[in-house]
Amino acid sequence: MSILVNNSTKLICQGITGSSGAFHTAGCLAYGTNVVGGVTPGKGGQKDANGLPVFNTVAEAVRKTGANATMIFVPPPFAADSILEAADAGIELICAITEGIPVSDMMRVKASLEKYPNTVLIGPNCPGIITPGKKVSGDGANATFEDGCKIGIMPGYIHTAPCDASSGKGVGIISRSGTLTYEAVWQTSSLGLGQTTCIGIGGDPIKGANFIDLLARFESDDETDGVVMIGEIGGSDETQAGKWIKENMTKPVVAFIAGITAPRGKRMGHAGAIIGGEDDTAQAKIESLRNSGLTVSDSPAGIGEAMAEALGLVAVAK
């Protein structure tokens, strides 16, 4: 099983005729995602470089294709309205890849999304979401897959479906960091673990789905045996997630917190990665998560081994 996306997901791209939208739409198609069209106002009736139909509005795209998911590659000044347009059209899953959306715009989006309880927003400033497909041929970047769904910019070939994993185990991955998402995927794949679904939730201070929202879905997923949770400095999301895990999760959760050497008051890459108080530091979050019973890897290089050990697959030297 998987969460949020699978091979029946019908995807559109908002901003499909822009350079980023066109490039990553092609990547999703190549992975096997069921991309059914795209939206660029004023260019409706055309075909994109991949031969997909272009529509003027999301509502039109939904009406004519049955789309239920979208990925947004719209410039920051217009991205918030693109999110709300998708929600208003009945899209169930919105992946906002765009970086640099003003915080005030996202505050408006968060308030407005309360009117759409059936819509899940991933991001913004995120790599997207993937449910790995079964490999049918090739290796590395030349591999081909089926029955998977990739939405966004993740490198699909490093992922492993649980059915292809030597251990037969599947893990879910949730991360604030795009590159650390890929690192966790590579490590778990290399150790014979599959991934049920991987979600990059983004590094902005105001965003859509958070750790707890997705942990609850993984807890209910029969094919997910454990979860990797990757956080960073700034905010209290990881601490709150740890408390929720202690009270609600039956599956092992392995965490890593980035930014242990970050200086106070300096933003480290992501807009939300800034230490504002004692509870925002990496060390404070690590201690809180360990107090909640989680395994916390001290190094990004140990995430995969920690997950395998939590599932009883390997013994890691201490």
pLDDT in tens, 201-215: 998 889 999 999 999
In tens digits, what is the pLDDT along the chain, a chain of 318 residues? 689 999 999 999 999 999 999 999 999 999 999 999 999 999 999 999 999 999 999 999 999 999 999 999 999 999 999 999 999 999 999 999 999 999 999 999 999 999 999 999 999 999 999 999 988 888 887 888 888 999 999 999 999 999 999 999 999 999 998 899 999 999 999 999 999 999 999 988 899 999 999 999 999 999 999 999 999 877 789 999 999 999 999 999 999 998 765 556 555 554 544 445 556 677 888 999 999 999 999 999 999 999 999 999 964 433
Domains of the chain: 11-122 (3.40.50.720), 160-310 (3.40.50.261)
What's the CA gap between 61 and 125, in Å, rounded? 24
Contact (Cβ atoms closer than 8 angstroms) between residue 253 and residue 230:
no
124 upstream amide cis, omega within 30 of 0: yes
What are the tokens at 65?
């294709």
What is the distance between the terminal CA atoms of the chain, rounded to a whole angstrom?
Answer: 34
pLDDT at 280 (0 to 100): 64
Q: Which residue has the tokens 């699978």?
A: 6
pTM score, whole prediction = 0.91
What's the CA gap between 193 and 186, in Å, rounded? 10
pLDDT at 263 (0 to 100): 58
Q: Let me know if 185 is exposed, middle or buried by CB neighbors in 10 A (0-12, 13-18, 19+).
A: buried
pLDDT at 316 (0 to 100): 46
What's the CA gap between 121 and 110, in Å, rounded? 9
Q: Name the residue among 54, 50, 10, 2 with its Cα closest to residue 30.
A: 50
What's the CA gap between 181 and 166, in Å, rounded? 21
What radius of gyration do the chain's Cα atoms show?
19
Catalytic-labelled residue, pool 270, 275, 288, 305: 270
24 is catalytic: no
DSSP structure string for the chain: --SS--TT--EEEETTTSHHHHHHHHHHHHHT--EEEEE-TT-TT-B-TTS-BEESSHHHHHHHH---EEEE---HHHHHHHHHHHHHTT-SEEEE--S---HHHHHHHHHHHTT-TT-EEE-SSS-EEEEPPEEEE--GGG-EEES-EEEES--GGG---GGG-TT--EEEEEES-HHHHHHHHHHHHHTT-EEEEEEE--S-SS-SS-HHHHHHHHHH-TT--EEEEEEESSSSHHHHHHHHHHHH--S-EEEEEE-TTPPTT---SSTT----SGGGSHHHHHHHHHHTT-EE-SSGGGHHHHHHHHTTS-----
